Amino acid sequence: MSYAAGLALLALMLPVALVGKSDTLDGVRYWWLADDAMISMRYGRNLAEGLGLVWNASERVEGYTNLLWTLFMALVHLTPLPDSKTSLIVLLANVGIAAATVPLIARLVRLLGGGAWATGAALAAYVLGADTSFFATSGMETSLLAFLLVLCVCRVLEESRSGTPRASTYLTIGALGLVRADAAVL
């Protein structure tokens, strides 16, 4: 069931990411991200170019709240891809992360005692949800945050039942605040 839901998610989102978030300028197809994601992308680009995590060279102003996602974007800028394709990589990564969240949601529902109907309903709500589609195709860190949050909840539930907590779980919980600063509250 989660395999089919993951494929459905990809089928719904890939056309949006590949066509709906791009345009052709002077014969070159460019992809774009939401404005907040583009801010993080500029910080990532400047870091990749050796200027540091800055908006403009020699200005030390922190304008991002998603350090790990900005670092990922810096890695994208270290590839030999042209600027016209860097946002596409971020979009595809986001869609992939959203699809990877599907089996985690199924796992969480089972851990909470839900059966096939509850799992199906939860997966349908996630796959067909407007927020899932918007954030997975906007280039923002939301898909990564959701993936890690569901993973952490699953692991905490499993480890509390087995009585064997793992340090890696708590490191992942700590990383939530690095993916998005306000996630530290979670």
Is the CB of residue 142 less than 8 Å from the CB of residue 150? no
The radius of gyration of the chain from alpha carbons, rounded to an integer in Å, stands at 18
Domain ranges of the chain: 2-185
Distance CA(41)–CA(32), nearest Å, equals 10
- Please give the average per-residue pLDDT across 134-140, as a whole number: 89
Distance CA(105)–CA(133), nearest Å, equals 16
Buried b (16+ CB within 10 A) or exposed e, 13-29: beebbbeebbeeeeeee
Nearest to 44 by CA among 29, 17, 25, 63: 63
pLDDT, one tens digit per residue, over 71-121 is 999 999 999 999 999 999 999 999 899 999 999 999 999 999 999 999 999
List CB contacts of 112: < 8 A, sequence separation 6 or more.
157
